[in-house]
Structure 1
Amino acid sequence: MVDVQTETVIRSPLERVAAYAADPDHAPEWYVNIKSVEWQTPKPLALGSRIAFQADFLGRRLAYVYEIAEYRPGRLLVMRTADGPFPMETTYVWEPAEAMMRRANRKDLKAIKRILEGQAR
């Protein structure tokens, strides 16, 4: 299994970022590998929605269908393959940048605590 996590800060209102990224129709605009999107269920995006994607990856054409497994507008989107060459899951979490910075800072503080308390022994 491959698990890739990335984060980025986008200087735009959270609601705008989440609405854009959660709309499958926008995927070919910002996903370099996705070439087309076709809704298999009626719009708008909701729990259980199914969307067919065509993508080019490593020189091959991939066709797969994602089903919306979890969706909290402006907060969380989880898509899982309902049909495709291999199982995939994509999760988006949107949060204000301050929360991301706070979480990163908390990790740093735990690290310094572990280092300094470990040296004191």
Structure 2
Amino acid sequence: MALDVTAERLIPLPRDRVAGYAMDWRHDAVWTQGIREARLTRAADRGGFGPGAEVTRTAYFLGKRIDYVLRVAAYEPSRLLDMVSVAGPLPMHVTYTFDLHPRGTLARIRVRGDAAAHYRLAAPLMAWKVRSSLRKDLRDLERVLTSSPP
């Protein structure tokens, strides 16, 4: 099953603030559904966070613990974070984009993957669950950012 799910939300805050928080792996467990822990396990090619960096996440999905590693493929601060899985139970590609909008920031998360080998029978449920989780992620991102000082 090819999975391709996108969710977006207009967040009434400046793009630098929204993207800066969302792209910082240290905040993953605060606003991302199911993530219990995230660690920078490999620095970027030029140090710090950027292309080549790897973040290891521990999550729970459909009641199962999942450990996976995402490698940063593209990084444009305040605009784009594109990551691909290099270790984990299924191939995955996660893209975060943040676009300027007259009323704030249009935040978008897209998840693509191939779950055929692991979740063939649960494919419709999985797509629904991923979409629901992404919507909650963006809602929680807005909640966290609007309830804390800049």
TM-score range, shorter chain: 0.7 to 0.9
Q: 5 Å matches for 1:62-73?
A: 62-73=66-77
Q: Does 1:59 align with 2:60?
A: no
Inter-partner Cα distance in structure 2 for 1:39 and 1:5: 25
How many residue pairs get matched?
101
Give the alignment's TM-score, normalised by structure 1: 0.78
Gaps of 5+ in 2: 107-150
Inter-partner Cα distance in structure 1 for 2:63 and 2:6: 24
Residue 44 (structure 1) shift: 3.0
Q: 5 Å matches for 1:34-49?
A: 34-42=35-43, 44-49=48-53
Give aligned-pair identity as a percent: 35
> Which consecutive aligned stretches of 4+ in structure 1 deviate over 3 angstroms post-superposition?
none
Q: 5 Å matches for 1:68-107?
A: 68-98=72-102
Gaps of 5+ in 1: 102-121
- Match in the other structure for 2:9: 8
Inter-partner Cα distance in structure 2 for 1:12 and 1:92: 16
Give the alignment's TM-score, normalised by structure 2: 0.63
> Whose RCO is larger (CA < 8 A, sep 6+)?
2
Secondary structure, aligned partner of 2:90:
coil
Q: State the Cα RMSD in Å.
A: 1.8
Structure holding more strand per residue = 2
- Match in the other structure for 1:18: 19
Mark the structure with the bigger radius of gyration.
1
